[in-house]
């Protein structure tokens, strides 16, 4: 286990050290202490290493992640795991706005609540939130799965493309072109796998599925008011 103290050695050194790790590294386990809400902790990693951040972080933690497993033992500020490509990011606390935005792949697990715009423009990432999510979540989401064990805020899935949204609790309101859809056996399978991987104690059968009505894909003058 390697330990990196941000208050002693600085943030820039942390990211350059972690980014320099390669597939064949024998330093696979890292612990980051004294994050003190700093921004951009453990960003741009591209190696199958495990990084544990001991405390809460600021903006853009674990952004652009590839391969790495990053765990935050605290809460995270806006834009956690933004544009993640692969790997796993686990947040023990809450996440601020636009968690997992534009993510292409990998798994983001938030054990607390996520605030507004969770999964905005997601492009293939899987996001599992144990708690609730805020308004405008999955706005223009294109691919991937967003699983919410609690409740969703206003305008869920507004202008949604092909991402799948699963919510166990209530949805305050659905955004334009987002509708409830039938939960078929293949969706139960997807959900079962995601809940297991995210360590979420919930049954797939308790969830409802939401997706795109596909009415806003091409301009139709009759839909003008919905844009």
Query: Would you say 120 or 194 has its CB closer to another protein?
Result: 120
Nearest residue (CB) to another protein, 130 versus 164? 130
58 vs 204, beta carbon nearer another protein = 58
Closest distance of CB 80 from another protein, Å = 12
Interface residues toward another protein, by CB under 8 A: 36-38, 55-59, 75, 77-78, 93-94, 96-97, 115-116, 134-135
Q: Of the candidates 114, 142, 113, 130, which has an alpha carbon nearest to the alpha carbon of residue 197?
A: 130
| Residue 164: CB minimum distance to another protein, A | 26
Closest contact distance (angstroms) between CB of 5 and another protein is 15
Q: Which of 45, 14, 19 is nearest to 31 (CA)?
A: 14
Question: Among residues 77 and 204, whose Cβ is nearest to another protein?
Answer: 77
Rounded least distance, CB 212 to another protein, Å: 23
For another protein, the closer of residues 7 and 29 by Cβ is: 7
* Comparison of 155 and 190: residue with beta carbon closer to another protein: 155
| CB contact set of 33 (below 8 Å; sequence gap of 6+) | 3, 4, 5, 6, 7, 54, 55
CB of 115 to another protein, least distance (A): 5
Q: How far is the CB of 31 from another protein (least distance, A)?
A: 17
104 phi, psi to nearest 5 deg: -95, -25
């Amino acid at each position: 286990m390697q330990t990196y103290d941000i208050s002693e050695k600085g943030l820039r050194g942390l990211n350059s050290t972690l980014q320099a790790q390669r597939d064949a590294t024998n330093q696979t386990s890292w612990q980051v202490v004294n994050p003190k809400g700093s921004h951009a902790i453990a960003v741009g990693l591209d190696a199958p290493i495990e990084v544990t951040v001991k405390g809460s972080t600021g903006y853009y933690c674990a952004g652009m992640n590839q391969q790495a497993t990053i765990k935050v033992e605290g809460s995270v500020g806006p834009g956690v795991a933004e544009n993640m490509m692969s790997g796993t990011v686990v947040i023990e606390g809450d996440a601020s706005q636009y968690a997992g935005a534009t993510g292409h792949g990998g798994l983001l697990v938030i054990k607390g609540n996520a605030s507004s715009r969770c999964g905005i423009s997601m492009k293939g990432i899987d996001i599992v939130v144990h708690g609730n999510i805020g308004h405008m979540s999955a706005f223009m989401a294109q691919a991937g799965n967003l699983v919410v064990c609690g409740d969703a805020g206003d305008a869920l899935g507004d202008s949604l493309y092909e991402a799948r949204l699963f919510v166990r609790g209530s949805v305050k309101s659905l955004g334009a072109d987002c509708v409830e859809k039938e939960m078929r056996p293949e969706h139960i399978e997807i959900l079962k796998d995601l809940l297991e991987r995210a360590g979420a104690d919930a049954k797939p059968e308790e969830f409802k599925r939401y997706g795109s009505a596909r009415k806003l894909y091409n301009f139709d003058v009759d839909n003008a008011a919905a844009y």
